[in-house]
Each structure stands twice: as C-alpha cells, then as structure tokens.
Structure 1
Amino acid sequence: MTTTTPTTTYRCPTDGTRGSIDSLAWQCPACGGPWDLEFTSAAVDLKSLAGRVNSLWRYEEALPLPGGAPTVTLGEGRTPLVPLTDAVSAKLDFLMPTLSFKDRGAVLLVELARRLGPDRVSRVIADSSGNAGTAVAAYSTRAGLPCTVYVPEATSPKKVEQIEAHGAHIELVPGDRQATAWAARAAADTPGTFYASHVHNPFFLHGTKTYVYEIWEDLGGRLPDAIVVPVGNGTLLLGASLAITELHAHGLIDRRPELIAVQAEAVSPLAAAFHAGADDLIGAETTRPTLAEGIAIPQPPRARQILRAVRDSGGTFLTVTEEQLRAAQLDLASRGLFVEPTGVACWAAVSAHPLAGRSAVVPLCGAGAKTGLAAPEVVGR
C-alpha cells in the first residue's frame, strides 16, 4: 500500500496529460516526454530547523514524500559551504554518502519505489554515466530492491566497481550516454520494473532542490547573486529552479538569483541553443570526447525547461575547455579538494569568466576518487 500524498500527481509539461504517482508510468503516454510533478510545497520555517534531523529530510514541508526521514536514508544532504574567494563559495556535494550530489534525487526515487510495495515493484533499473547509477544502486540495496544499472562501456572502472559493490547488476552498453538511455528505456516497461530515471521522474528534481534549500539555510535565509550549476540533463539546475520558485512564492527570499549553467565546450547543445536565442535544441550538434563525462549529454529530454529556467532567472550559459577542466581540477586539489572532472566544471567556468564581484555558489559534485586525476595526454583531445 502506498503512503504517498494523494493530491500529488504527474503532469506532462508539454500536453497537460496527468498520471498517478502510484503507477509505474515513467513518461507521458501521449507524447513520450518527461513528467513534472503537481505538488504544492509548504513554507519552511527557518527558525524551526535547528532541532530537526541533520539531512535533506529536515525540509519535509517542501518534499513530496511525507512522513519525515524514510527507511532508505543514508543521512544525505547538509553538505558544507567552503569559501574559495571573497565572493565565491563551493558546496561540497562530493561528501554525500555515495560521493556525488545524485544522492539527493536517488533517495526520493527509491523511497517512492519502496512505498509502491513489493507486489508492484520487483526491481529497479537506472541509466547513468556513473554517479546516478551508483546512487540508485546504493539506495536500492538499502531498500532491499534488486537493481540493474545501464552505463556506457567507457564509464570509469572505479564507478562501475562502486555500482557493483552495492550489489547491482551492470549492463555495459556499446556507444555513448544517449545509447545507454535508449537501452534502459527499452527495458523500462517490463512488468514490475521501476525506472529510476533521474531525467524523466520529477521526484529526482524535488530531491535536488534541497541543494538550494541548504544554501538558503546556511546563508541565514538568503541566496547568493548567482547559483552556478553544471548542466547535462539539467537535474541540478531544474531542482535549483524549483527551490528558488518555492522560496520566492512563500516570501522567504525577496529576489531570485541568476542561474548560470555550465557545459563542456566539447558537448554543449544547450549553450548553443541558448546563445542562438532558441527555445529548444537546434539540431544535431557535433560532439567530441570530454573529461566531463557526467554532463556529456547531446540530447537532454528537458532541454526546453532548462533553457526557459536560465532565461527566466536572467542567467546565462558558459562553456569550458578540456584544458580549463584539467586546470580547475588541479587548482582545487591544491586547495585540499579532490573532485572529478565533471564536478570541477563550474569552478573552471567562474575562474575563466569572473562574475564581477557578485556572490556565487558553485557545486563540487563528485569525488575525485571516482575517476582519478585527468591524465595530461587526454586534455585537448
């Protein structure tokens, strides 16, 4: 029996089709697009937070799964802010239980699957370049649910090892990240399968929005001038946009920060569309290998939403080169912070494009132990 909120439903942002969150439907049946969530958050009382559970579940009024911390929690969230300059701070999301920010969304997905019950869900599947799959694998084993993770064949061996250590079955898919998504989606409609898609299922976005709630709390009820986020499928950016909208609607912030989206120059379809003034992707883009494997997404399904969120915030897109990624990884390591190449993209961007004194927070999204140091010979390839 499910214990989810009865008034919370899936809704397609394209055609308005609705679906029950008690179903296993992972996409809009009419257009095949990703779901949004019809859910109204309540205001979070800043003064009430001091005595609450020290995880992202402290913001329970803003989360679409009621009842406080769930059984699958690993204490995710509440990562520290560390100053990098007078104006820029880093949020250390690589200190999450599985060493990446993807835990924020994965815990909500797997808790939803658990609440649907064993008569409905017999296994969980996910597709990933590594970090999301690791997070889903960890929380699935915590929930006692068998898990299969589809990853590109070129995925870091250390990430594959981490996924398998959690007991998940690995499907190595020939080709790129897009081919991996297609392979997982082909298996997603198998009876009893819960597709823990961090792209299509909006519960993931309502988990990642806690990233901004934590910044808001740690800054005493305010947000910086700019929130800088790496963008591949846009799950952190769209979660940030959700949080900013909610905080503003409840009168908890008086202005909205800019969203500054960062892509690798080698795979930057959203940046190209944004700077061309387009509302959607502008056709097939030539892509190249990149150190930032976690954001190397040539066809993000939520492209229109991502572009709209950045424009509505007054923000922009920045791109970074392979040389800049490598330099940023080494620079952060010299400051005591060892982060994987995808996770350093935002620091690379603000280092190359200073924000003229505006305050900003950048995420350090994944631990360097997941990939190791970028080898000099692959830079500039």
Structure 2
Amino acid sequence: MASYLCPRDGTRADTTSLTWCCTLCGGPRDLNFEPAGPMSLNSLTGRVNSLWRYEEVLPLASPTTSLGEGRTPLVPLTDTVSAKLDYLMPTLSFKDRGAVMLAELARRLAPERVVADSSGNAGTAVAAYCARASLPCTVYVPEGTSPKKTEQIRAHGAHLEIVPGDRETTARAARAAADAPGTFYASHVFNPYFLHGTKTYVYELWEDLGGRLPDAIAVPVGNGTLLLGAALATAELHAQGLIDERPALIAVQAEAASPLATAFHTGSDDLLGAPTGTPAPTSPTLAEGIAIPCPPRARAVLAAVRASGGTFLTVTEAQIRAAQLDLAARGFYVETTGVACWAAVGGRTDLEIVVPLCGAGLKTGLAP
C-alpha cells in the first residue's frame, strides 16, 4: 500500500487524507510506493495504448478518468538528438501525464471541490481531467497567463481565479483555498502522484528504444516535475535490472529565471538563501512555464541532477526565439517554454540525447 512520506522529517500520512503537505514542516511529500514489476518488453504486447500500459509501476490502476494520454511519438531531429512529442497530448502538453493521476485519485476520494494553481498548462490539464471525472474544479493562475490557456481552462468548465501578481503569489492563494475542509489540492508540485505520472515519459522512451535509454535526457525545469519523474523512472528501471546505467539528466532553465541553475553551479544543495531568505531574483522570460523563483522541491531536483551525473544549462531569450522558429521550420510548432531544451542541446553531437517538446505552439503563439 502506498503512503505519503516527508523526505525531510519522515512524517507519514495515509493517501486517503486531503492534507496536501507535511503537517510538521509544511513541505512537499514523496510517495512511499514499491512497483510490482519487473516488466519486460514482451509483456507490453497488446496492452492499452496509453501510459496506463505500465500498470506494474503505477500507484493507481483501472482508471476511469483517462483521455488516452501517453505513448507520444519519438522523432529524430539530428543524428544524435531526438524529440518526444508530448505536445500531442489531449490538452496539448506533457502535464496530462501527471494530471490524470491527480484527477483519478481525487475521483476515488470524492472531495467537495478540487483546487489547482498553474502558470497555464498544468491548470488546463487538471481542468480537463476533472471534467472527465465530473469533479468541480477551480484553477488559480497569475495575471499575464496566456489568454489561450485561460480560454482552455474555462472551456473545460473549471472556475478560473486570476490572481494579481506573480506565480508565487498565485500558489499562496491556491494553498490558502486548499486548506478549506473537503478540498483536494491537485498540486502538480506538492502531490507526488503527479511525479508517478510524469515518470511514464521515461518508460515510453525505454520501450521505444527497445529496452534501453539514451546517454542523456534533457528536460526544462521550473518546479522540476518532469525531471523528478524521470529520476524516479530511471531508478526503478535500474533497480529492476532493465537498464545497466542511468542516463545523465540535463536540466534546462531560462537565463532570466534560473534559481536552480545558479544554486547548482555554486555547489548549493538548496536554493541560495533558503529556507529563510530569497533565491536569486528572476526576470520576465518567454519560457513562462519554467519561470519559478522558489520551487518547493528544489533540494530534490538538485540532488537528482547531481546523482545522475548531469548538469544545468541556461538559454537566453534570443536562443528561445531562434529555437522556436527552427523547430517550426522542421514541422514542429511548439510553445516557447517547450523549445528550451532544443535551444540548449540541439547542436550537441557527443551524446545521444532526447528532448521533450512539452507544449503546443497554439498555447502561446510565436515569440515576439
């Protein structure tokens, strides 16, 4: 049976609880969960063509909330760099991988309401899957969120709360609402079920590459949910003897908003100034989806990158613009956040690397 476990103080909680953070330290929790595995490539033949095909390693089974998410194409871009087309998800971003887990869990817990906060993509995903699960949902977004994303949230029937201020202000507003009795906080940052959804990204790579993984996996990092999911999957695959070595995790941030990259390259194991101070200041960036000044799982993200032998890279606004146009010229129309990894590693020839194209260009349009 799975249970919540605080990585800082060891506090445990039952997964039927609506408490959304550690009651002792207030931080995010991990999921104490052991996969039923091992899997084999042959065992996957004939299974459902969605992320739910990896049932042995998922903390939930037999979903009714699915929209067919997962199993996105893997397409070569150069001789050494390939792209995973996660913008071809039901809500047009990789956040569907985790949102379906949150909505399925919420459906089983039957709360009075669901609350989420987002810079856009996670909110649209939670809104869609709550609609699928017939759950009332409120999504908090910061002012300045792409109109296309707020339009999508409303279209799925969720109530939209636009919060004056930045992403951190929005998160605080949602967390205050999440404290109300009968509320399920569908947080893609605090709830570890989300990470067990995003880890399926790597299981799909392993299957598509015939039972192996590339030398490196590059991921854009704001709150770090895709990177932490990738770290979970590589650890599980290695523990099951399904891969010999774990790939390096290359974390990519916008230069204008790179508190984790700054901490990594200065040797810190947490955000600079944390927990009582403030991290390095951030500036507006085209990569709005990863412009997170104070990610709650910063310590875990930094540790995961170091443990993998990976690194942090940053990209400029000019590189983001150029990468978006370059991918469009190759036939891929991707939102500005989703091109960050291509901007960072597209020219590499020394490693086999996979990058995610995380969100559709229709969500933000072309960079100005």
Please state which band the TM-score falls in when normalised by the shorter chain.
over 0.9
Secondary structure of 1:93's aligned partner:
coil
Q: What is the alpha-carbon distance in structure 2 between the residues aligned to residue 299 and residue 192 of structure 1?
A: 28
Equivalent position of 2:119 in the other structure: 129
One-letter amino acid of the structure 1 residue matched with residue 72 of structure 2: T
Q: Is 1:296 matched up with 2:295?
A: no
- Structure 1 position 192, deviation (Å): 1.2
List 4+ stretches of structure 1 deviating above 4 A.
Answer: none
One-letter amino acid of the structure 1 residue matched with residue 184 of structure 2: F
Q: Which among 95, 99, 105 is matched to residue 102 of structure 1? A: 95
One-letter amino acid of the structure 2 residue matched with residue 146 of structure 1: P
Equivalent position of 1:75 in the other structure: 68
- Structure 1 position 50, deviation (Å): 1.7
Equivalent position of 2:313 in the other structure: 318
Q: Is 1:366 matched up with 2:353?
A: no
Q: What is the alpha-carbon distance in structure 2 between the residues aligned to residue 179 and residue 264 of structure 1?
A: 20
Equivalent position of 2:14 in the other structure: 20
Secondary structure of 1:44's aligned partner:
coil
What TM-score results when the alignment is normalised by the length of structure 1? 0.94
Deviations 1:287-344 (A, max 9, x none): 1100000000000000000000000000000000000000000000000100000000
Q: Which among 160, 169, 173 is matched to residue 179 of structure 1? A: 169
One-letter amino acid of the structure 2 residue matched with residue 158 of structure 1: K
Q: Which among 25, 31, 40 is matched to residue 37 of structure 1? A: 31
Equivalent position of 1:64 in the other structure: 59
- Structure 1 position 66, deviation (Å): 2.5
Q: What is the alpha-carbon distance in structure 1 between the residues aligned to residue 237 and residue 132 of structure 2?
A: 32
Q: Is 1:327 matched up with 2:317?
A: no
- Structure 1 position 356, deviation (Å): 4.0
RMSD between aligned residues: 0.7
Note if contact 2:80-2:349 (Cα within 8 Å) is conserved in structure 1. Answer: no
One-letter amino acid of the structure 2 residue matched with residue 334 of structure 1: A
Q: Is 1:152 matched up with 2:142?
A: yes
- Structure 1 position 346, deviation (Å): 0.2
- Range with greater deviation from structure 2 (191-200 or 38-47): 38-47
Q: Is 1:86 matched up with 2:76?
A: no
Q: What is the alpha-carbon distance in structure 1 between the residues aligned to residue 349 and residue 262 of structure 2?
A: 24
Identity across matched positions, percent = 76
Structure 2 counterparts to residues 161-200 of structure 1, below 5 A: 161-200=151-190
Q: What is the alpha-carbon distance in structure 1 between the residues aligned to residue 88 and residue 109 of structure 2?
A: 30
Q: What is the alpha-carbon distance in structure 2 between the residues aligned to residue 74 and residue 297 of structure 1?
A: 28
Q: What is the alpha-carbon distance in structure 2 between the residues aligned to residue 107 and residue 113 of structure 1?
A: 10
Q: What is the alpha-carbon distance in structure 1 between the residues aligned to residue 316 and residue 117 of structure 2?
A: 26
Deviations 1:139-198 (A, max 9, x none): 001100010000001000000000000000000001111111001001001111100000
Secondary structure of 1:136's aligned partner:
helix
Deviations 1:233-274 (A, max 9, x none): 000000000000000000000011000000000000000000
Note if contact 2:81-2:348 (Cα within 8 Å) is conserved in structure 1. Answer: no
Secondary structure of 1:227's aligned partner:
strand
Equivalent position of 2:276 in the other structure: none
Q: What is the alpha-carbon distance in structure 1 between the residues aligned to residue 282 and residue 60 of structure 2?
A: 38
- Structure 1 position 85, deviation (Å): 0.3
Equivalent position of 1:222 in the other structure: 212
How many residues align structurally?
A: 362
- Structure 1 position 286, deviation (Å): 1.8
Q: What is the alpha-carbon distance in structure 2 between the residues aligned to residue 355 and residue 13 of structure 1?
A: 35
Q: Is 1:278 matched up with 2:268?
A: yes
Q: What is the alpha-carbon distance in structure 1 between the residues aligned to residue 256 and residue 38 of structure 2?
A: 41
Q: Which among 114, 117, 120 is matched to residue 107 of structure 2? A: 114
- Structure 1 position 116, deviation (Å): 1.1
Deviations 1:187-213 (A, max 9, x none): 001111100000000000000000000
The runs of 5 or more residues in structure 2 that have no matched partner are 274-278
Note if contact 2:254-2:285 (Cα within 8 Å) is conserved in structure 1. Answer: yes
Q: What is the alpha-carbon distance in structure 2 between the residues aligned to residue 112 and residue 251 of structure 1?
A: 30
One-letter amino acid of the structure 2 residue matched with residue 342 of structure 1: T
- Structure 1 position 44, deviation (Å): 1.8
Q: What is the alpha-carbon distance in structure 1 between the residues aligned to residue 348 and residue 330 of structure 2?
A: 21
Structure 2 counterparts to residues 331-346 of structure 1, below 5 A: 331-346=326-341
Q: What is the alpha-carbon distance in structure 1 between the residues aligned to residue 284 and residue 136 of structure 2?
A: 32
Q: What is the alpha-carbon distance in structure 2 between the residues aligned to residue 356 and residue 52 of structure 1?
A: 35
Equivalent position of 1:305 in the other structure: 300
Q: Which among 29, 38, 49 is matched to residue 54 of structure 1? A: 49
Equivalent position of 1:258 in the other structure: 248
Deviations 1:109-153 (A, max 9, x none): 000000113xxx011110000000000000001100010000001
Secondary structure of 1:182's aligned partner:
helix
